Amino acid sequence: MSNNILLAILVTSLATYLSRFLGVISSEKIKETSKIFRWFNCLAYSTLAALITRIMIFPVGTLSGADHLSRIVVVTISLFIFFISKRNLVYPTALSVFLLAILNNVF
């Protein structure tokens, strides 16, 4: 049993670090202003927006107990804090946890 766990850790670590290593090597040839880089950037943001929307509309697990209105309020305030804090992700993420906890206990 422990040999299987060690093998799984080894294989997943190898796959993770190999892909990161290849990304570092190939990143020198990619310009941040290129069209393909901007396309991947837009793809990443659209995927993130779709996941956030899915979580808001069809929550799973503990979040499903939260009211739709409280989730919408938390996301709206978090977006406002995100833009106020010059696109810093730490403040709205931390604040959203507290806001959702407070709004769930109030409503």
User: Same domain, yes or no, for 79 and 98?
Assistant: yes
DSSP 30: -
- Are 17 and 48 members of one domain? no
Q: Give the tens place of pLDDT for each residue, 3-41.
A: 788 888 999 999 889 988 888 888 777 787 888 888 988
Do residue 68 and residue 53 come from a single domain? yes
Sign of the Cα torsion 45, 49, 50, 54 reads positive
Domain that holds residue 41: 31-106
Same domain assignment for residues 35 and 71: yes
Q: Could you tell me the sign of the dihedral formed by the alpha carbons of 30, 36, 42, 45, in that order?
A: negative
* Total structural domains within the chain: 2
Query: Which residue type occupies 26?
Result: S
Taking the C-alpha atoms of residue 89 and residue 6, their distance in angstroms, rounded to an integer, is 35
pTM exceeding 0.85 = no
Contact 70/100 with Cβ under 8 angstroms? yes
